Chain A
Amino acid sequence: DTEVTQTPKHLVMGMTNKKSLKCEQHMGHRAMYWYKQKAKKPPELMFVYSYEKLSINESVPSRFSPECPNSSLLNLHLHALQPEDSALYLCASSQAPRRGADTQYFGPGTRLTVL
């Protein structure tokens, strides 16, 4: 099973709302990632969690707050977003963070619209 699940599939929120995106994998992967993807662009890395610890933050604004409650779950908490944050948010996982030879598997994404 190479499945990464994400909820919700679609989310519309106002600039003052607080919402969370959820990601789950049961492949025993120890690295999990959040990416943001705008139309006709490649995914842009936001955060990397390695063994449930934040290992990379690509200078993401604090209105995005990641959380890794356990090795299977990854959340992205959203607060006071801007319309330009509207995008497809992709979660991914890979097996062993430092081996460098592992495949990354993506969830279906959450399509976020900020009004």
Chain B
Amino acid sequence: RKEVEQDPGPFNVPEGATVAFNCTYSNSASQSFFWYRQDCRKEPKLLMSVYSSGNEDGRFTAQLNRASQYISLLIRDSKLSDSATYLCVVSTGNQFYFGTGTSLTVIP
């Protein structure tokens, strides 16, 4: 079983739409959770860390459910510039486990 499972998509949404990505992880001892964004042929860049209380950064909201071992990312009012691959990352100690990434294309 994979450490982190993520729906690869692709998600094609119109500008202004709300889109949600989900991710599950298998190790209940996992300590830290992140969403990264990766543009084509570029490196992954941290979008936001995910906390148990949930956290919001502008149009982006991340949630963590430790009981269900589930992480989500909600993007509201999608912009063309949000088109990218979104990677769910879970860490335990100094090991970071990546989901397969979810591809998002925002269409004009």
Contacts and interface: CB of A to CB of B under 8 A. Distances in A.
A70 B38 CA distance: 29
Interface string A78-115: 00000000001010101001101111111111010000
Interface of A: 31, 33, 41-43, 45, 48, 50, 55-56, 88, 90, 92, 94, 97-98, 100-109, 111
Given A100-B32, A101-B31, A103-B34, A108 B43 contact: yes
Interface string B29-44: 0011010000001111
22 contacts: A41-B101, A42-B98, A42-B99, A42-B101, A43-B44, A43-B98, A45-B96, A50-B94, A55-B94, A56-B94, A56-B95, A90-B43, A94-B94, A97-B94, A100-B32, A100-B92, A101-B32, A101-B91, A103-B34, A104-B46, A104-B89, A106-B45
Nearest to A97: B94
A31 B43 CA distance: 18
Contacts of A111: 41
Most interface-central of B31, B34, B91, B94 (chain A CB within 10 A): B94
Contact of B43 (A33, A45, A109): A109
A109 B39 CA distance: 13
Given A41-B100, A103-B34, A104-B89, A48 B42 contact: no
Contacts of A45: 95-96
Interface of B: 31-32, 34, 41-46, 49, 87, 89, 91-96, 98-101
A106 B99 CA distance: 16
Nearest first, the 10 A-B pairs at minimum CB distance are: A100-B31, A42-B98, A97-B94, A106-B43, A101-B32, A31-B94, A100-B93, A109-B43, A108-B43, A106-B44
Nearest to A55: B94
Given A94-B96, A102-B32, A106-B45, 16 more contacts: A42-B100, A43-B44, A55-B94, A56-B94, A90-B44, A97-B93, A98-B94, A100-B31, A100-B32, A101-B32, A102-B91, A103-B49, A104-B34, A104-B46, A104-B96, A109-B42
